Structure 1
Amino acid sequence: MTPPSNHSSGNNKSGHKARSAWAVTRSVWFAMFMREAIGRTMTDRMGWFWMIAEPSLMLLVMIGIRSFIRGDKLIVNAPFIPWMLVGMMGFFLVREGLTQGSGAINANRALFAYRQVQPVDGVLIRNFLDGLLRTLIFLLFMLGALMLGTDFRPDSGFQAISGWLSLWALGLGFSLVVSVAGTLVPEVTKVVRMLSMPLLILSGVIMPLNHLPHYLLEYLMLNPIVHGLEYTRHGFFEGYKVVHGTSMLYFWSWTLGMLALGLLMHVRFKERLKAQ
């Protein structure tokens, strides 16, 4: 009779069943998510306030400006305030990926002592949490509008949700690239933060781009954020006339390209990111 082996399949030396790589990754992600969530929502008592106050204050400013320029007359088949709110919240979703990427690696640097934790994990978790928080804030604005008598329900729920998730994915792609570039070259982070305000204007967030000259519009349409915002707005307002040239094929070419480039950069520079 053959004696039992000391190393049975799937068991370690202590007799406990070895966890799969996916199970270990899930545990790491859950622990990092809880750490990040507690730090973002409980440690900083003003965190929730600023997440709500920023779009609210900008909205009030733009309502004041509208009273002088009658911005609602510039948008076809869409109410000005909901139209602008959809654009702002969608843009903030992408902007978080641009500005928070490099911070995710530095914030989790102490965890790199554990071999199960990789720099890309912190970027993925932070982007996921930012997306959840922005989604929650957006839903609160929609609920507030409904309570005030403004019908803010999307005309096409599927298109509105898919547009929102598409912007989230683009933000993740930017976050993966900027996290590596900004950690290795700190000046990149400063440049990205400086670009956030011009992008707000050039992405058609606060004013429609349809009335711009064609020679200028064709350059602005190189910005993938415009395509994602226009697609999402059309999901909320079915009769809304999107900017000419809007293409989700172009948008997803950018998104998939940034995701692939970001992941490749994390694989290539993994050890340098840990040692920075």
Structure 2
Amino acid sequence: MSRSNSLLTDLRQSWPVTWNVWHAMFMREMTARTMSDRMAWFWMIFEPMVITGIMIAIRALTMGGQHIAGADFIPWVLVGLMGFTLFRENMMRLLGAVDANMGLFTYRQVKPVDTVLVRGFLEFVLKSFIFLLFIVLGSLLKFDLLPHRPLEALFDWLSLWMLGLGAGILASAAASLVTEIGNIVKLTNLPLLIMSGVIFPLNYIPHQYQRYVLLNPIVHGLESLRLNFLPGYHSLNGIDLTYLWFWALTMLTLGLMLHLRFQDRLKAR
């Protein structure tokens, strides 16, 4: 009993310290991300608008029409793009979290994994705010961007964030130990964008090859998000968030294990 009481006492004492560290790091990251550049907010909002506009123009020139698989094209592409951006930004920005905060490791309370977790949460807050802003603007412009099933759509959004967080934590530890891994992860940006059905509907892929597309866990998150936003949308058969969460929790577990196992090496880089 005395040993268990000692463990509980240690947890009670360490949790306030951890919370204060996370809060201070979050405010530091938020300030650096939004205040260091006068155009920071502009680019965060303008980038998805430009990409959406380019996709609409390409579709109009090559295929014509404004509808796709039972849904309007603009909401379809915007929902998919925002969901993919949530995943991508978590994975890519977490890559440099450890190196960007090396100076903080002089404080023994700060661990490498803290920098990654805080940056991941910041990405969730920023991307959620921007997505809500697009939903409001779309509604004012008479585009149907309100989710058909809000709670299910929120769970899809959280699922995509967890997938990106797991990939980012794993990649940040691996890339900090082997630099070449970071370069490989960066090269996957465009292939993942294409293979995840952000640009074109996966229904256009021949049926016999669709099972290979479903091996990509991002597809399950994006298609489920679209289904819960767009009531008339027809997606691929076999969409399953359990598969996405299997990948997310597996990568998260492996990433945390690497951070704990090589904590001293990550600090000493």
Structure 1 position 216, deviation (Å): 2.7
Correspondent of 2:105 among 102, 112, 121:
112
AA at the equivalent of 2:148 = D
Q: Which amino acid aligns with 1:127?
A: G
Which structure 1 segments of 5+ residues have no match? 1-8, 10-18
Paired residues, number: 259
Are 2:157 and 2:225, in contact at CA under 8 Å, matched by a contact in 1? yes
Task: Determine helix, strand or coil for the equivalent of 1:20.
Answer: helix
The runs of at least 4 aligned residues of structure 1 exceeding 6 Å deviation read none
Sequence identity percentage: 52
Are the counterparts in 2 of residues 91 and 200 from structure 1 also a CA contact under 8 Å? yes
- Confirm or deny that 1:142 pairs with 2:135: yes
For 1:33 and 1:154, how far apart are their aligned partners in 2? Answer: 29
Give the SS at the match of 2:265. Answer: helix
CA distance in 2, matches of 1:122, 1:242: 37
Contact 1:96 1:130 in 2 (8 A): yes
- Is 1:130 matched with 2:123? yes
Highest CA radius of gyration, 1 or 2? 1
* Equivalent in 207, 218, 228 of residue 235 of structure 1: 228
CA contact (8 A) 1:210 1:244 kept: no
- When the two chains are superposed, the root-mean-square deviation of aligned CA atoms in Å is 1.6
Q: State the one-letter code of the partner of 2:150.
A: G
Unaligned runs of 5+ in 2: 1-5, 7-11
Partners in 1 of 2:164 and 2:135 — Cα distance? Answer: 22
Distance, in Å, in 2 between the alignment partners of 1:86 and 1:33 is 27
TM-score when normalising by structure 2? 0.92
Matched to 1:190, the amino acid is N
C-alpha distance in 2, partners of 1:209/1:71? 17
2:205 maps to what in 1? Answer: 212
CA separation of 1:71 and 1:251: change in aligned 2, threshold 3 A: farther
Counterpart code for 1:218: R
In 1: Cα distance, 2:234 partner to 2:81 partner: 18
Structure 1 residues 249 and 71: alpha-carbon distance in aligned structure 2, compared to 1, 3 A threshold: farther
User: Which residue type is aligned with residue 43 of structure 1?
Assistant: S
Structure 2 residue 180 is matched with structure 1 residue 187: yes
Q: Which residue of 2 aligns with 1:70?
A: 64
Shift of 1:155: 0.6
Matches within 5 A, 1:1-276: 20-68=13-61, 69-70=63-64, 72-73=66-67, 75-276=68-269
